[in-house]
Amino acid sequence: SLERNHSFQLLLRFNSIRFYKYEYRFQWNWITIFFSFIYWNTDFDGFQKKAIQMVKPAKGTTTLAFIFKEGVMVAADSRASMGGYISSQSVKKIIEINPYMLGTMAGGAADCQFWHRNLGIKCRLHELANKRRISVTGASKLLANILYSYRGMGLSVGTMIAGWDETGPGLYYVDSEGGRLKGTRFSVGSGSPYAYGVLDNGYRYDMSIEEAAELARRSIYHATFRDGASGGVASVYYVGPNGWKKLSGDDVGELHYMYYPVVPSTVEQEMAEVPGA
Amino acid sequence: MSFVQYNGSALVAMTGKNCFAVASNRHLGVQHQTVATDFQRVFKIHEKLYIGLAGSASDVQTLHELLDNRHKFYQLQQERDMKPEAFANIVSQILYKKKSAPYVCQPVIAGLGDDDKPFICTMDSFGAKKLAKDFVVAGTASKSLYGACEAMYKSDMEPDELLETVSQALQASVGRDCLSGWSGLVFLVTPTEVRETILNFGAGGGPAAPVALAASGGAAAKKKKEEA
């Protein structure tokens, strides 16, 4: 059409030569000060931060894994807690990615379950494409790259990938911040300081499978004793040259009375009296 | 975590036929960490009056000493024990007096009143009394305790049945609370005796090793050793 476009005329007017000179590009005047004050004092993505904090649960759990002479030992508790409430005592925190690789769950349960299954799919596709199994190094790298690409979006994953490949036993720690660490001893979760205390004390490289299983079980038990967010059943898995095998799953309450049996004793002083402070 | 949940506790008092039972857990924690498994929260005021205190452990100990002192003074003046209703009033007044800086503590008071009729009540931190005929609960596990008690309570239970019911209710509810657990202490009080039982259940009230051991020398009331 031939009629003039009024807004285009305005655009032409404002794009006059004067505004292209650099000395007019930016000036501190009351308008710019006013807007900058508002910008620096306003929380534009507060809602997203709050949403992420609401969804991201505290890593209330205890999981551990270590490499020793015979392979990799992986252990975890089975309690799920929401603040103070125990929502479940029978959560499977050791996820079977494929018959020779295990992943542990700490952080958001849905995140860990979904991304481990996704990793299992990618490992299988790798096997089909390359006609050989993927290494633990490769599998952990796949997961770490995926988690890094979602960094800052509210995923909460603190996992250990344990497996046996051609180079022997492998153990990697991968988390939702995008970190990936190779190591021989890891523990993840709110109960991990307590587990580390027992694990680091009793660890030797040349242990037998039974000794290593007992060390793992004991570390989980001690962590569940001290940490309120861990409990339930201490399950222990072993990863060897022929794949993983579940060794035991013991209720930690029963373990408590097994390790520290109650000795009936006569009480000399009055139970009702509080000893003077 | 709020200060009410700082130490973690589970308390329940239940009435039966001319008897009552007060039970608490013996766990002491600092937020999620367990510090002790033999912390006492239920105290004797006199032969037929017991008080349990839930909430901050420091306030539990302070209030216990305060109330014990208050009752001993009453005994010297009046030459008799305080009635449970009167004692509940005293506790309520003491708590309300500190409304501006309250004790972070919810008491559960249980006693045998006139004609050995059981009396139970609980209060919030400011002293608002909640009387009940059947059971009262307090502590971080209180929601689970309400459910368990509601399901298991029957009116006019005999002492043995009452002990069993209270123990089961405590064990079931502590199994759903991260902040309490690790063994329970039950006082079962009838007009002629006081039975004190320690329940051993795992963290999370698992399939327990229900070895109860109780002992205690004592004053006038007969105390019995109990293997539950």
| Tens digit of each residue's pLDDT (9 = 90 or more) over B142-178 | 999 999 999 999 999 999 999 999 999 999 998 888 8
| pLDDT, tens digit, 9 for 90 and up, residues A92-149 | 999 999 899 999 989 888 888 899 999 999 999 999 999 999 999 999 999 999 999 9
Winning range, highest mean pLDDT, from A127-136, A153-162, A262-271: A127-136
Q: Do B61 and A277 touch (CB under 8 A)?
A: yes
Instruction: Report how far apart, in Å, the C-alpha atoms of A17 and of each of A28, A32, B109 are.
Output: 21, 22, 86
Residues A178 and A251 in one domain: yes
- A272 closest CA partner among B24, B88, B41: B41
Q: What is the pLDDT of residue B2?
A: 80
Residues A38 and A65 in one domain: no
Return all residues near A259 (Cβ < 8 A) that are at least 6 apart. Answer: A218, A221
Measured from the Cβ of residue B208, the count of other Cβ atoms closer than 10 Å reads 18
Q: What is the pLDDT of residue A247?
A: 96
User: How big is chain B, counted in residues?
Assistant: 228
Q: Do B5 and A265 touch (CB under 8 A)?
A: no
Q: What is the pLDDT of residue B213?
A: 38
- Show residues of chain A in contact with B8, CB under 8 Å: 84, 228
- Residue A271 confidence (pLDDT) above 80: no
Residues A101 and A13 in one domain: no
Asked, for residue A54, whether it belongs to a domain, the answer is no
Asked, for residue A266, whether it belongs to a domain, the answer is no
Q: Which of A62, A79, A85, A194 to mutate to test the interface with B (most CBs of B within 10 A)?
A: A85
Q: Do A253 and B178 touch (CB under 8 A)?
A: no
Between the CA atoms of A214, A217, A218 and A223, what dihedral angle is there, to the nearest 10 degrees?
160
Q: Do B40 and A274 touch (CB under 8 A)?
A: yes
Q: SS3 for B110?
A: strand
The count of structural domains within chain A is 2
Report how many Cβ contacts below 8 Å link chain A to chain B. Answer: 101
Question: Who among B33, B176, B217 is closest to A86 (CB)?
Answer: B176
Return all residues near B99 (Cβ < 8 A) that are at least 6 apart. Answer: B126
Question: Who among B33, B178, B200 is closest to A84 (CB)?
Answer: B178
Phi/psi at A12 (5° precision)? -60, -45
Instruction: Report how far apart, in Å, the C-alpha atoms of B76 and of each of A6, A225, B71, B82, B213 are.
Output: 99, 45, 9, 11, 34
Would you call A146 an interface residue with chain B, using a CB distance cutoff of 8 Å?
A: no
Phi-psi sector, A131: left (phi>0), alpha (psi -120 to 50), beta:
left
Asked, for residue A96, whether it belongs to a domain, the answer is yes
- Show residues of chain B in contact with A270, CB under 8 Å: 216-218
| pLDDT, tens digit, 9 for 90 and up, residues B4-56 | 888 889 999 999 999 999 999 999 999 889 999 889 999 999 999 999 999 99
Give the whole-angstrom CA distance, residue B123 versus residue B103.
12
Burial class (CB in 10 A: 0-12, 13-18, 19+), B59: buried
- The CATH classification of domain B3-212, taken from the options 3.80.10.10, 3.60.20.10, 3.40.50.10490, 3.40.50.1100: 3.60.20.10
Instruction: Calculate what percentage of chain B has a pLDDT beyond 90.
Output: 71
Residues A10 and A125 in one domain: no
- Residue B113 confidence (pLDDT) above 60: yes
Asked, for residue A178, whether it belongs to a domain, the answer is yes
Return all residues near A37 (Cβ < 8 A) that are at least 6 apart. Answer: none
Residues A94 and A229 in one domain: yes
Question: Who among B177, B201, B215 is closest to A266 (CB)?
Answer: B215
Asked, for residue A267, whether it belongs to a domain, the answer is no
Question: Who among A229, A253, A274 is closest to B206 (CB)?
Answer: A253
Q: How confident is the model at residue B212 (pLDDT cuts 50, 70, 90)?
A: very low
Pick A120 or B2 by higher pLDDT.
A120
pTM of the model: 0.77
Q: Which of B33, B34, B146, B226 to mutate to test the interface with A (most CBs of A within 10 A)?
A: B33
The domain containing residue A117 runs over which residues? 59-259
A61 noted as active-site residue: yes
State which residue of chain B sits closest to A82, comparing Cα positions: B178
List A32, A61, A184, A266, catalytic entry: A61
- Residue B214 confidence (pLDDT) above 50: no
- Show residues of chain B in contact with A225, CB under 8 Å: 34, 203
Q: How confident is the model at residue B219 (pLDDT cuts 50, 70, 90)?
A: very low
Mind telling me how many Å the CA of A214 is from chain B's nearest CA?
19
- Residue A77 confidence (pLDDT) above 80: yes
Residues A73 and A22 in one domain: no
- Residue A83 confidence (pLDDT) above 80: no
Helix (H) / strand (E) element for A233: namely strand A233-240
Residues A134 and A227 in one domain: yes
Any idea what the CATH number is for the domain that residue A244 is in? 3.60.20.10
Q: SS3 for B171?
A: helix
Q: Do B213 and A79 touch (CB under 8 A)?
A: no
Question: Who among A190, A253, A277 is closest to B203 (CB)?
Answer: A253
Q: Are B71 and B46 in contact (CB under 8 A)?
A: yes
Residues A28 and A66 in one domain: no
Asked, for residue A241, whether it belongs to a domain, the answer is yes
Give the whole-angstrom CA distance, residue A272 versus residue B49.
12
